[in-house]
Chains A and B, each alone.
Chain A
Amino acid sequence: MRYAILLMGAPYSNQASHSALRFAHAVVERGHRLEAVFFYHDGVQNAAGLAAPPQDEPHLGEAWVSLANEHRVALQVCIAAALRRGLLDEREAVRHGKDGVSVQAPFELTGLGQLIDLGTRCDRLVTFGP
């Protein structure tokens, strides 16, 4: 089956991101295709490239990147939700005159239309939130 995940919980604030990550691994281990993880609401914080959790805790951002690289999972971040929470890729940083860049590939800033598209294209869209 083709799956997609909608993640709306902030990392390290509640269980949502951890659960979504474990579900993502379970999906691919069972031989299903995980098309994308769509980050919305506080879930966009998962894309924060400047996150520096203690070394003895799971690094959620890096875990998403590994998942994306190993299983060709798109990491789509709602651009409107991201910008107002300080998450900007290089293009948006330039556009808004900001010195720092906080979102790097394979995370990509994209529109909510992608979420709707995933809901249509995939057999299952599974939501994780606080």
Chain B
Amino acid sequence: MREQHDDNDLLVILRHGPHGSSWLKEGLDAALVAAAFGRRVSLLFMGEGVTALMTNQQTGALGQKGTAATLEMLEMYDIETLLVDAQGLSCLGLSSEELMLEVECLSSAALARVLSGHRLVLTF
């Protein structure tokens, strides 16, 4: 984990699950656009946001497209740093092995270092 600020780095924090609001979708949209513009994007899933990574997601009854398909495309956008708040995961009784993508679980202290290591942070 680098702690040096790099102006090209962007941290996008996702705190909402895939359904119930458009926060996750619109947060991911911002991340994809940033990556398409050449930013090096890291995603941090916090709190309820970790449910974005659950396997076997359906699109839901509300006509939403869901976000799982977008997450599967992250690699194509060179978004490879996927960070998860370990406490958020354990609060929901989940483990990183149950998630659809490979992630790095971070303690609270490590989270603080990630935040201070980024000049630009967008929180959704």
Chain A residues proximal to chain B, CB less than 8 Å: 6, 8, 40-41, 80-81, 111-113, 115-117, 119-120, 125, 127, 129
Tell me which residues from 10 to 55 in chain B have a Cβ below 8 Å from any Cβ of chain A. 10, 22-23, 26, 29-30, 33-34, 36-37, 39
Q: Contact size class for B?
A: 10 to 19
A85 to chain B, nearest CB (A): 10
Write the nearest CB–CB distance from A16 to chain B, whole angstroms. Answer: 13
- Name the A residues within 8 Å of B10 (CB-CB): 116, 119
- A113 to B32: give the CA distance in the assembly, Å: 10
B33 CB contacts on chain A under 8 angstroms: 111-113, 115-116
Number of A-B contacts (CB under 8 A): 37
Q: How far is the CA of A120 from the CA of B22 in the complex (A)?
A: 25
Indicate if the CB atoms of B26 and A41 lie closer than 8 Å: yes
Least Cβ distance of B63 to chain A in Å? 12
Q: Are B26 and A119 in contact (CB under 8 A)?
A: no
Q: Are the C-beta atoms of A81 and B26 separated by less than 8 Å?
A: yes
- A113–B37 CB distance below 8 A: yes
A40 touches B34 (CB 8 A): no
